Amino acid sequence: MRTFLASLVLAGTVLSAQAADAPATVQGAWARPIVAGQQSSGAYMTITAREPLTLLGGESPAAGIVEIHQMKMEGDIMKMRAAADLPLAPGKPLQLGPGGYHFMLMDLQAPFKAGTQIPFTLRFRDAKGKVSTLRLSVPVQAAAPRESRQ
């Protein structure tokens, strides 16, 4: 637990310098708190690429498994399934939210409590095949931050 907390503090430091040369910017990130017995959570955010990118996925020390998921209607049933890599067009925000694409966090390493933050790293591939990462500190809260609501 102590190492987990230490990494939270570090991630906060990195976030304050969301690098000007990063391949993408992220706004309105949040992750849902869990209730007792719940094994998974969702993380949501809006990602805007500065150059043509492919979002390969995410990872977090707070979750053993992170997958990109997509909510989709099949007949009249809303279903969730793993999505493939997502292309990002420069300047065109990709919204990951509760009703569409989202990061599914499973095998949680600690309870997600409102008011805490989880370190989260995004992985991208550029047009030349070079892989880069962007580190975030994602607040755990019950609803989307106001600026990202529509």
Contacting residues toward Cu ion, per CB under 5 A? 69, 80, 104
Nearest-CB residue for Cu ion: 69
Q: Is the dihedral of CA 136, 25, 21, 134 positive or negative?
A: positive
**Please, what is the minimum distance in Å from the beta carbon of residue 84 to Cu ion?**
14
**Please, what is the minimum distance in Å from the beta carbon of residue 147 to Cu ion?**
24
Instruction: Indicate the residue among 97 and 119 with the shorter CB distance to Cu ion.
Output: 97
Instruction: Indicate the residue among 15 and 45 with the shorter CB distance to Cu ion.
Output: 45
Q: Which residues are registered as beta bridge partners of 121?
A: 59, 135
Instruction: Indicate the residue among 127 and 142 with the shorter CB distance to Cu ion.
Output: 142
Distance CA 6, CA 3 (A): 5
Distance CA 130, CA 138 (A): 25
Distance CA 49, CA 31 (A): 21
**Please, what is the minimum distance in Å from the beta carbon of residue 3 to Cu ion?**
27
**Please, what is the minimum distance in Å from the beta carbon of residue 102 to Cu ion?**
6
Instruction: Indicate the residue among 15 and 68 with the shorter CB distance to Cu ion.
Output: 68
Distance CA 146, CA 150 (A): 9
